[in-house]
Every structure is written in structure tokens, then in C-alpha cells.
């Protein structure tokens, strides 16, 4: 079959409107001065997201570092009759379990612990797989990327719960809720991983395979003649 990637056909697809723009000899090396714009929507177009790997690494490493205070510092303090009880993400889950609210405990566990950790692991794995130019299951890796990108924002649920509690429970010294530094770090982790997923270009997963296929193809042609 005559299958090609857009780049092999000297085309750049627009990120927004998917218009295929003909660009002969695409040069996206670091010192290339040429910038290309979409013929339909005038946005700047790139065959691959520029500096995708280094940007994603930077965002991901910041997220991993912030993940530590996000889990060790209190995300919320509930003050009842003058007594404050600070909770971290994990101790909050245990309190819910203790009071018999296991569906809520499960929900918060999935949104605040399972998804962020999974996301950090998947993104690290994807970056390493591109770095080591592996050919391992490109389709599965693309699906993993798609899931990460889709599901990541739901981790914000705990931050919103804290916001609602802070705004609702305002009864002075009798009962009040305040947001801790942990919540700040956690929100930053979620936002950074969202940006990290966004800056990762899944086409890099396929490039290794496509480049070699093209080389083989040319090699066969040379042999025939």
C-alpha cells in the first residue's frame, strides 16, 4: 500500500484546522529560520511540536518534584470548636473510609492519587520510549497517551471540593475550613501535567518506525534498478 506520513509527503497539517499545507523540504532543525503559516487559519504550523521532548521533560520533572509537598503537606484543615485537624490527601482518604463513606474514599483515591501517579509514570515512560527509539507497540503507546490527556483534568476534583468547603463552612471558631499549602502544590501538579501532556507530540512515537520504513523502501528501490 501507498501509505505515507504527512511529513514524508512534504505536507504540514495545521494543528487547529487540519488543513494540509504543502511545504517543500521541511526544515525544523534548531537553527532553521523558516516559519510556516497555515493557508486557512494563519496560525504558525509545525510538522512536529517544537522542542517537544525538552519542554515535556521540564514540565514533568517540575510536576514530580511538586508531587512530594502535595502529598506530605496538609491540603485542608478543618477547625471544629477551635481545634484544627490538618489533613493530607492520603489521611483525607482514610478519614472518609473511617466514617464509612467508601465510595467517596474510592473516588478521591482514584482522582487524587491513582490518576496523577499513573499520569506521571505514563508520561515518563513515553518520553523514555521516544528517547531510546523503541519500536515497541506504537499503537498501544498512542492509546496510553490519549488516555492520559483525556483523564488528567479530573484530578482537579479534590481542589474544587476544598474550594466549596472553604466557601461553605465559615462559622468562625465553631467550624471553619482552610486550604493548606498541599492543595496549592497539588493544583500545580495537575496543571503542570496537563501542560506536559499537551507539549508531548505523540507523532514522535511513530517517527522512528516511519523513518526506517522509508529508508528500507528507498533501499529496495535502489536494489531493483
Q: Which of residues 174-193 bind other proteins (CB under 8 A)?
A: 174-175, 178-179, 183-184, 187-188, 191
Virtual CA dihedral for 158, 164, 169, 175, nearest 10 degrees? 10
Q: Is 59 exposed, middle or buried (0-12, 13-18, 19+ CB in 10 A)?
A: buried
What is the per-residue binding string for other proteins in 40-79, x denoting contact by CB under 8 A? xxxx------------------------------------
Residue 6: name its binding partner from other proteins, Zn ion, none (Cβ under 5 to 8 Å by kind). other proteins
Selected range binding other proteins among 28-36, 50-58, 99-107, 125-133, rule: CB under 8 A: 99-107
Alpha carbon distance 6, 16 (integer Å):
15
Virtual CA dihedral for 116, 122, 124, 127, nearest 10 degrees? -140
The cell for 23 is 511545504
The terminus-to-terminus CA distance of the chain in angstroms comes to: 20
Please pick, from the candidates 17, 32, 121, 128, the single residue that binds other proteins as defined by CB under 8 A: 17
What is the per-residue binding string for Zn ion in 28-67, x denoting contact by CB under 5 A? ----------x-xx--------------------------
Alpha carbon distance 144, 120 (integer Å):
12
143 binds other proteins (CB under 8 A): yes
CA 18 to chain centre: 22
Residue 68: name its binding partner from other proteins, Zn ion, none (Cβ under 5 to 8 Å by kind). none
- Which residues lie closer than 8 Å to 164 by C-beta, 6 or more apart? none
Residues 63 and 192 sit within 8 Å (Cβ to Cβ): yes
Nearer to other proteins among residue 175 and residue 223 (C-beta): 175
Nearer to other proteins among residue 8 and residue 223 (C-beta): 8
104 binds other proteins (CB under 8 A): yes
Residues 6 and 20 sit within 8 Å (Cβ to Cβ): yes
Question: Which residues would be at the binding site for other proteins (CB under 8 A)?
Answer: 1-7, 9, 11, 13, 15-20, 22, 39-43, 96, 99, 101, 104, 107-108, 138-139, 142-143, 145-146, 153-154, 156-171, 174-175, 178-179, 183-184, 187-188, 191, 194, 198, 202-203, 205-207, 210
Amino acid at each position: 500500500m501507498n501509505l505515507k506520513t504527512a511529513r514524508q509527503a512534504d505536507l504540514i497539517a495545521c494543528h487547529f484546522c487540519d488543513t494540509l499545507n504543502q511545504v517543500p523540504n521541511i526544515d525544523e532543525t534548531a537553527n532553521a529560520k523558516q516559519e510556516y503559516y497555515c493557508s486557512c487559519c494563519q496560525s504558525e504550523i509545525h510538522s512536529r511540536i517544537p522542542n517537544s521532548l525538552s519542554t515535556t521533560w521540564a514540565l514533568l520533572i517540575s510536576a514530580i518534584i511538586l508531587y512530594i509537598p502535595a502529598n506530605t503537606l496538609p491540603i485542608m484543615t478543618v477547625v471544629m470548636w477551635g481545634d484544627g485537624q490538618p489533613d493530607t490527601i492520603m489521611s483525607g482518604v482514610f478519614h472518609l473510609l473511617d466514617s464509612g463513606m467508601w465510595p467517596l474514599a474510592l473516588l478521591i483515591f482514584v482522582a487524587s492519587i491513582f490518576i496523577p501517579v499513573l499520569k506521571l509514570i505514563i508520561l515518563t515512560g513515553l518520553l523514555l520510549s521516544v528517547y531510546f527509539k523503541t519500536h515497541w507497540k506504537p499503537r498501544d503507546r498512542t492509546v496510553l497517551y490519549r488516555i492520559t490527556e483525556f483523564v488528567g483534568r479530573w484530578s482537579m476534583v479534590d481542589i474544587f471540593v476544598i474550594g466549596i468547603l472553604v466557601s461553605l463552612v465559615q462559622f468562625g471558631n465553631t467550624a471553619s475550613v482552610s486550604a493548606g499549602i498541599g492543595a496549592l502544590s497539588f493544583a500545580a501538579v495537575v496543571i503542570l501535567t496537563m501542560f506536559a501532556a499537551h507539549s508531548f507530540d505523540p507523532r514522535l512515537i511513530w517517527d522512528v518506525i516511519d523513518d526506517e520504513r522509508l529508508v528500507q523502501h528507498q533501499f529496495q528501490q535502489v536494489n531493483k534498478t
